[in-house]
Chains A and B, each alone.
Chain A
Amino acid sequence: MNVKLDKFLRSSATIKTTILLSVVFFFASFAAPQIHAQKRFSKAYSASKNVRLQLLNRTGTVTVEGWDKDQIQISAYLEAPAANIVPVSLSGTILINVVKDNQGRYEVGNVNFLVRVPYTSTVDIETRMGNLNVSNVRGTLVRAHISSEGDITLTNIGAPNVSAENVIGDIFYDGDVQNQGSYRFISTRGNINLRIPFTAGFKLVATAPSTRNISLGAFSNGSMKFVGDGRRVIGQSGDGSATLTVTNQRGSISFIQR
């Protein structure tokens, strides 16, 4: 009796398991494309050493890396609903404008770019929302602008003109400060950390009006003066040939020796 019952229970459990698994697979077969429907876009352009990359993204992360090839390689991972991407190569400039290419489409998924450019390229990237990362670039300009929130990370940069701007998010810069260069870092809320060579020569205007949190670290010297009740630091380091403007409305500013 017990053996029969046991067999019955076993067969019943098997049937239940089978039904359960079937249901799971059934729903999973519909759900899976929505979760993992990530398209990939890839394109390469031969480029001169002083090529300019101009990229405007809607939302998503943009990573730009310098490499030792006379070639620009664009890879993009498109989340659903996939955005249209139409890069244009125009007299030494590679233009990618995801906002324009998707004008009138309200539902557009994130686009995560990975772009490799020659070391000496000019890089001008912008996004409405998302992180921006640039590394190993020493062209004439590196500009990273986030309209709203996202972190900006610029590492191993050797450009004479650098600009990084966001509203909410951190800004990290690790690079040179070149003679006669212009460096501008602006945020509304976040932490701005600048890692620059101790020997760098620059004139500084650093403003953190709400927090009054400006840490000069090794760059603190006699010429650096706190003004406006400690809300701003004005001064000079080295020969003062470059200009360094840092504004953080509601966050901190820190200098780190490279």
Chain B
Amino acid sequence: MNCEHCQELISVFLDNELDGSSSAEVREHLALCEPCSKVCEDLAMIIDFCQLDADEAVVPPNPQALWCRINNVIESEVQAEIIKENKEKAARAEVAAQAANTGWLPRRWNFSFMQVASAVLFVALVSSVLTIIGIRNYSGANNDIAGINAQPTLFEKILGKVGLMETPQQKRERILKEREAAIEYWNKRVEARRAQWNANLRDAFDRNLNEINQAVSEYSQILQENPQDELSGEMLDSALDDKMELLREFSEL
């Protein structure tokens, strides 16, 4: 028997399906031929392994236990689903009940297109007005009388009439009042001290205060006649500053 013929018969040999003479020939060749013997060993190992794996795979599970496990899993999942659904239903019912009590939420969103458009327009208008007022107030924050003589725009006039913005006259009056309050304060301090001064100092103070007062009244008169006279506004501002400074400096004596 040659190797080729032997290897063809190995599989049948391992299955014990060969007749006695052929099986003896194969056994004799395997005893003498190492390569064929090796092939036979490998094939035998494969067959053994397959038989072992097949044995495990076909081990029948305990069908009752398996069904119990499946049943438990299904029941737990179904119960969780039912609880979740119940909770959601309860929450929806609560919200619906609240809405029914107040009667506000459902109607809130029932706007027509015109209503929404009007609301958007209104919000845009209000925010624009507020922005403009803010910018105007910020840019005109300096308390100079000179700075308020600029011709008001139509928009400023409208805002002034509505009461959302100071007119130049209102602003001037406000600044003048603030200055007058400060001047009055320093004047009181001077009055408390001037009796103690010598005659020369008193006379000099009166002379200088009178000079500044004349300038103040001169510019005030011009501004009454022509409120837009920027230069007079500036000079009035300067004269009032001078007056305040004179009073403050003499109040130290």
Residues of A within 8 A of B (CB): 58-59, 99, 103, 106-107, 128-129, 147-149, 167-168, 186, 188-189, 207, 209-210, 227-228, 231-232, 247, 249-250
Q: Is B204 positioned at the interface, with any CB of A under 8 Å from its CB?
A: yes
B194 to chain A: closest residue by CB: A106
Given A149-B208, A232-B231: A167 and B198 interface contact (C-beta under 8 Å): no
CB distance from A188 to the nearest CB of B (A): 5
CB distance from B125 to the nearest CB of A (A): 40
Residues of B within 8 A of A (CB): 193, 196-198, 200-201, 204-205, 207-208, 211-212, 214-215, 218-219, 229-232, 235, 238-239, 242, 245-246, 249-250, 252-253
Main secondary structure on B side of the interface with A: helix
A148 to chain B: closest residue by CB: B208
* Docked-complex contact A168 and B208, CB < 8 angstroms: yes
Q: Chain B residues with Cβ under 8 A from A167's Cβ?
A: 208, 211-212, 242, 246
Q: Chain A residues with Cβ under 8 A from B230's Cβ?
A: 228
* Docked-complex contact B211 and A188, CB < 8 angstroms: yes
Question: What's the A-B contact tally at a CB cutoff of 8 Å?
Answer: 70
* Docked-complex contact A107 and B218, CB < 8 angstroms: no
* Docked-complex contact A147 and B249, CB < 8 angstroms: yes
* Docked-complex contact B215 and A106, CB < 8 angstroms: no
CB distance from B195 to the nearest CB of A (A): 9
* Docked-complex contact B208 and A59, CB < 8 angstroms: no
29 contacts between A and B (CB under 8 A): A58-B253, A99-B253, A107-B196, A128-B249, A129-B201, A147-B246, A148-B205, A148-B207, A149-B204, A149-B207, A149-B208, A167-B212, A167-B246, A188-B211, A188-B212, A188-B215, A188-B242, A209-B219, A209-B232, A209-B235, A210-B215, A228-B229, A232-B231, A247-B238, A249-B235, A249-B238, A250-B211, A250-B214, A250-B215
* Docked-complex contact B212 and A231, CB < 8 angstroms: no
